[in-house]
Each structure stands twice: as structure tokens, then as C-alpha cells.
Structure 1
Amino acid sequence: MSEPWLDDPLGYLIGAERVGDFFARIYESEALVVHHGQPRRFDGLLSIDAVDRLVTSVDLREGQLDLADASRRLMRSDYMDTSGYVDRGAVADHHRAGATIILQQAHQLEPPLGRFCRGLEHVFSCHVQTNLYLTPPNAQGFKTHYDNHCVFVIQVAGEKAWRLYEKPVDTPFRGEEFELGKFESGELKQEFVLKAGDCAYVPRGLMHDAMTSGTEPSLHITVGLITRTWADLMLEAVSEVALRTPALRKSLPAGYARADFDRGAARRKLGELAQIVAREVQLDPALDLLADNFIRSRAAENRHAISEAARPVLPTERFRLQRHTPHRIAEDGDKLALIAPGGDLDFPPDRRPALERALSGAEFTPADLPGENTEAFTARLLAYGLIVRV
């Protein structure tokens, strides 16, 4: 099946004409609702039948599936067996009674969702995850709450009525979870109904709730953006300065934890050190570290690497860079490190021209690459999913 969303993942979600304005004005600031008027726009990502197949035929473990019902409290023990597996009958029974089925990290179960997430990761340079929510008619899974990460809501089937309120916490940290009873929803700001093929963006910290609209069940995908922050970058940058600055590595004053400790001198010292940090801080080392860790943390997209392992690479075969695959070529002492999903691949320095040619995005054959043993070189890149056959 064709996957048109891979050409422009964000544009397919919200419309290509909105992408510029999204990053300039909307991202992390306000909600966006897009009514595409195309009920089958997201066919191929998921279906209610696919959810049924996963729930009723896959041995899901605790943490892969949850149930939620705003009208009653459900515990995992209500739908897990004693071995830690999902009790399929209990799930069906609770769902029949109004509970929302939640499939956590669904991109790990459905390959099209996984590819879609990798496409969005290419856009945002962050981990992207998906949860699925199948809600019966006239039901609500959660009470009013906020999420501590931004989400896109993709309506796949049925309809859901949404209400958006205020932000009790502006741009919460990842660890600032919503606590029932601690935060007020505030004034109702916006109401809308998502129909199949529609999409909404909800920034982190914005209070919201949703309920099935109409007589059919609602299936939507929540796409979560697990981003790094400027605070993360600052911490790495300060750590890098500390590696070069002995004064930042000195111990805190003896007795600093005592009640009678005089903090005056410590305040002055902190001010001096802050000036050193402000003078010495560098963007590139810290940003390179965050970028490299992000790339390494991705999973390789190497479908067919096992089934076609015995297939030889021919000198005239055509290959190209795998779409949306992050990578970086870096010097590491007397060798080159190709930073790639899953980890680093080491090459001798004279392989740089071949690496740059193979990973340029343009089609190539092993015969096009400089150096010797280019078929084996190409086969290695193919095994790690960095390139694909054309």
C-alpha cells in the first residue's frame, strides 16, 4: 500500500501550506485544528480491525495495553492475568462497558506507524511515539488533563468531540506530570469535533478532554513529540566548559549543608563561575553530543537485511540513502566514525569520499564509489539500513 505521508510527514498531517506558520507561530504556543474533509486520508496507518487483531491475537504484556474510563477507576489487575499478560476477554468486556482501549507505543507493533514516526523524527529531531485510543460510542477515556509533551491527534475512524481550556503550566518539563486535583482546567477556550481524516495539534501544558461523538466508536492516534530542551543543551554546554575549566570542578565549601553555613561567599563565587561559563560556553560541542546521542538512539530500518543476507551486491546495482535515516560522519582519532541508528560504524579515513557519495541522497552503484572492495562496503551499509536498493 502506498504511504503518501512519508514524502512530507508534517505537511501530510496539517497541510503543507501550514508548515511555515506552524513553526513560526503555533509550535509549543497554541492549538491547531485541521479539517481535511478526506475521511480516508489516514487509511493505511491503522484501522479498528488492526486494533482488534492486535488485542485478540498478540500476547501483549503489562504496559503494552491499558484501559481508561473517565466514569470509573480501572486498575491493571482488572485486565491482566497472573502471568503479566493481557486478559483478552476482560479487555473486550470492559471495552463493551465503555472503557477506552489504549495501545502504548503502537509504532513498535505496526510497521507503517513506525515508518511514519521516523519521518516525523527527521522533521523534529526528537523521539516520536504513538499511542492508540479506541473509545466506544458515548464514552470518555480521561478526565480533563494536560500532557507534558506536545501531541498530534490523528482521527482515523469515527468522531471525537474535543474541549480545550487554559495552560496551568506553561511548557512543562517532561517530569511535570499532570496531578488530578492540583491543577484547574480554567476557562473553556475552544470546542471542535474531529472526524475521520482530521488532525489536531495540542501543545504541552494545555488542559483538554475528549469524548466520542456520534453512534460509532472513535479510533485516534496520538503522536507524541519527546523533545530535548534548551535546558538540556545548557546542561551539556556547562559540562563541556567544566571539562576545560578546573575552577568548575573544585569541591563545594566544607560544611555547606550545615544550618550555620555562611552563603555570602558562595553567592559571590557562583557569580564569578557564571561569568566564566558565559564567556567560555560553546554551542557546537554540546549540540553535537545531543545530536549524536539522538541518532544512536534510533533503531535501524533494515527490513529484508535477514531474508536477503545471502543476496550478493553487484557492482552495477543501484542504491540510495534510506529516506529519513539520520547519520553523521565524524573524525575519531585515526579513524572515521559513521554515527548511525543503533551505534557507530568505524571506517578508515580514506573511506570518507565513498561514504559521502553513498550517503549524499543521489543514486549510485558500487562501481561509482572510489576505493577498493566497494561491493563489500555497500553491503555493510545495506545491512545497517543506511541505504536501500533502488
Structure 2
Amino acid sequence: MTVEFTLAQLLQPLTVETFLRKVWGVTHYHVERGREDYFDGLFGPAAVEDVLEIIRPEPSTVVVVREDDRRSPDSYRFSDGSVDLVRIRNDFADGYTIVLNGVERYVPAVASLAHGIEVELNFETQVNAYITPPGSRGFLPHYDDHDVLILQVRGSKTWHVHDDTDVPPHRMRRQEEVNASGLPAPAVLRLNAGDALYLPRGRVHAATANAEPSIHLTVGIHAPTVLRLLTEALDALSYRDDRLLTQLPPRHLDDVRVRASLDGLLRDVVRAVEDPAVMSEGFGALGDALVRRGRCRPVGQLVPNSVEAPRIDGRTRVVKYQPLYSRVLMMADGVALQFAQSLVSADADHRAAMLFLSGNTEPFEVRDLPELSEARQVELARTLVVDGFLVRL
């Protein structure tokens, strides 16, 4: 049975709202639980072996590292490029940490957690697994350019977290290394199995496994920046405004007069970005990227015109598949519900029903879909069950 975790479960007893209001982006936070079995069903030794077997033919997701010694991929791969699991296990015995990147692609419980966080925070996520031998340290003091949630799954680790030394974003962008000799004394935290730790981006840290092998997951939370929002807005504007596609003139690098001739054009473009409609398109592009990362219930739960199809009527109880990010788009000829890789279009009179479907997370009866006739209610519900957006109860 797959155990489903949510952001609220990772943080409790701290509430999500308190976390976002007082902790997010401000300070680190250690959730101590005293429950070694808390993350049972999420990821463990068996999952490690499963992932290694899955990625054996295509090993780009595995890294072997010990402090500043990162093993060359050639040292743990066969001549055909596949993973040599015996060499990886030997490296582990020699004190090297095994890093498995993007485990949400292979483990259903981790995928559900990652997608749930994306829906709740509107941020993309990636989950990496770190398997560290006793007494070893995978990385020297370093920082991440994104916020992270660390989930201690097996064993324990001692973390050194350096407050008041956060690397500013512009230095992260330059990928500047940490000068370990200049760091102040750190806060020392022991993460036991079942504990969680939040670190804001730029917070310098390092961790060492204690007396037993350690497994922890790092949920990377990749919040888009203002730079990305502006880039998306300008890109969207370029599809209808030729000013952004104006070619730079000859000698624009060498002739200051030529460069000065662009001043008016550049000021016009900057003013265009101040238009709320342009920024709305930028947000729309971010939403489109997020919605396409969603995953529905496997398609084929109900086949149109099959024996089961007539079983959906106005009294059929359904619920939106979770976790799944969706949004309603106003189209020239009507309205559409966008989710995962799907776009379900309908006439404009479906707008209220689509908004209800996108925003509702509680079970409901098909006849509760607003402002539609019974026939259209059933037709829409049947389509969304087939596409995996709705689940029959």
C-alpha cells in the first residue's frame, strides 16, 4: 500500500500557514518527532535498491561523492555506460555517499509528495536521495540556490548550519564557493529518523552520518525568481509586439552613438512591462509550466461508451484526483480546463462548472456542477473521469 505524505505532514506540529509566514525564506527550522518509523512507506533501503536497478541502464542520475572528492562516472560504469552496482557498493564501503537525483520519477510515494508540494506552493520540486555510510560526510560546507526540506528516513545525521552567513542571490548566480575558514561557529542539529529540517536558499550547511548508515531525502523547492517572471512576460509580449524583436544595428558594441539610438526603444519596452496585462501573461506562462508537471490518475479508468459509462449520472459522487494542479483558461470560443498534459475545452456556459472543478478538493455529486443541464453535467464528468481528473467514489 502506498503511503501518501503532504507538506502538512512533513511540518507538523508546525502548520503550513505558520511555516510560510514565519519560517519560509527567513530561518532554518528543525522538526523533532521521536518517531523513527514516521517516513516508513516513503523511501527506504528497498527503494534505494529499486531505483539503482531502474537506473542501471541510464545512470545519469547517480553521483558518488565524499567531501570534495566526486567520483568520475567512469569509475562506476561499465564500458557500455550502464551502472556497475558492485563498484558503487564498494565505494559506499569506502566512505562515499551515493546520491540519487530525481527519485520522484521512480518512487510513487515520493512523486505524490513532490506533486502535492507543487500544488500547494506553486513551486517546482525535485527530490534527491542521499545514502551515507557511518561516520562519513558527503559534502563540505556549501549552500543550495533554492530552499530545501530535508527528511531523515533512516539512521541519523549531525548537521552544522551556519546562521548569519547566507550567500546573497547574486553570488549564488555566480556559483561562488564557500570559504569554510571564515565561517562562524554553526548551530549543531541532530536529525534522527522521522525528523525534518528546512533550510532557506543560501544557508551554508554540512552534515555527517553518525554511527549507522543514513538515508535522507532532500526536497528541493525551486521558487521562480522575478527575473524569470520578467523573462516569461517579455517572451509572451514578443509574440505580438515587434519592438522586442527589433534587430540590434551594426556596430552596436563599438559605436556609442549607435547604442544611444536604442535608448528610446528600450524605455518603451520597459514601460510595456508595466502593463498589468503583460505581467499577467508572465504569470500565465509560469502557471502553464507548473500545470504540465502534474500527473493524473492513469487514463482508462472508464472508457466512453463502455458498459460502465452509463453508470455515471447526476447522483454519482466524484472527487478531484489529488495532488493535481489545474487552472481555467478563457478561450476565444469558450473555456478550457487545463491539467497535466490535458486541455478539456467547452462552451462559455461551462465557465462556472470549470471554476468549480478546478478549485474544489472535496467530494461532490455530478449534479452539483453549477449552471449546466443534467445532460451536460454527466457528459463533462464522464470526460474528466476518463481523462483521470475526477475519480468516482
| Residues 1:372 and 2:368 aligned together | no
Which residue of 206, 218, 228 corresponds with 2:224?
228
Q: 1:20/1:318 Cα in 2 relative to 1: closer, same or farther (>3 Å)?
A: closer
**1:349 equivalenced with 2:343 (yes/no):** no
Aligned mates of 1:149, 1:143 — CA distance in 2: 18
Work out whether residues 185 and 207 of structure 1, in 8 Å CA contact, stay in contact via their aligned partners in 2: no
User: What residue in structure 1 maps to residue 147 of structure 2?
Assistant: 150
Note the residue ranges of structure 2 that are not aligned, 5 or more in a row: none
Question: 1:88 matched to which residue of 2?
Answer: 85
Q: Distance in 1 between matches of 2:273 and 2:383?
A: 44
Range with bigger deviation, 16-25 or 335-344: 16-25
Q: Distance in 2 between matches of 1:263 and 1:188?
A: 54
Aligned residues: percent identity? 24
Residue 168 of structure 2, aligned match among 152, 165, 170: 170
User: Structure 2 matches for 1:266-277, cutoff 5 A?
Assistant: 266=261, 269=264, 272-273=267-268, 276-277=271-272
Residue 197 of structure 1 corresponds to: 194
Deviation at 1:318, TM superposition (A): 1.9
In structure 1, how many angstroms separate the alpha carbons of the residues matched to 2:84 and 2:17?
46
For residues 9 and 331 of structure 2, what CA distance do their matches in structure 1 show?
Answer: 39
Secondary structure of 1:67's match? strand
The question of whether the paired residues in 2 share the 8 Å contact of 1:320 and 1:364 is answered with yes
Q: Residues 29-40 of structure 1 correspond to what in structure 2 (within 5 A)?
A: 29-40=26-37
Q: CA deviation at 1:67?
A: 1.3
3-state SS of paired residue (2:16): helix
1:48 aligns with 45
- Identify the residue that residue 293 of structure 1 maps to in structure 2: 289
Distance change >3 Å, CA 300–CA 241, structure 1 → 2: closer
What corresponds to 1:389 in structure 2?
392
Structure 1 residue matching 2:256: 3-state secondary structure: coil
Q: State the match for 1:5 in structure 2.
A: 5
Tell me if the contact between 2:156 and 2:212 (Cα under 8 Å) persists in the aligned partners: yes
Q: Within 1, Cα distance between the matches of 2:216 and 2:186?
A: 22
Change (3 A) 1:12 1:110: same
Asked if 1:69 corresponds to 2:47, the answer is no
Deviates more, 1:30-39 or 1:248-257: 248-257
Q: Find the aligned partners of 1:21 and 1:32 in 2 and give their Cα distance.
A: 12
CA RMSD of aligned residues (A): 3.1
Task: State the shift of 1:236 in Å.
Answer: 3.2
- Tell me, yes or no, if the aligned pair for 1:28 and 1:171 is still in contact at 8 Å: no
- 2:211 maps to 1:219: no
SS in 1 for 2:5: helix
Mark the runs of 5 or more structure 1 residues left unpaired by the alignment. Answer: none
Tell me if the contact between 1:320 and 1:388 (Cα under 8 Å) persists in the aligned partners: yes
- TM-score between the two structures when normalised by the length of structure 2: 0.85
Q: 1:171 to 1:343 in 2, by over 3 A?
A: farther
Cα deviation 1:113-149 (Å, max 9, x = unaligned): 1111111111210111101111110111112221111
Query: Aligned pair in 2 of structure 1 residues 252, 141: CA closer, same or farther (>3 Å)?
Result: same
1:184 deviates by 6.8
Aligned mates of 1:354, 1:19 — CA distance in 2: 29
Counterpart CA distance in 2 for 1:47 and 1:265 is 61
The one-letter code sitting in structure 2 at the alignment partner of 1:387 is L
State the TM-score, normalizing by the size of structure 1: 0.85
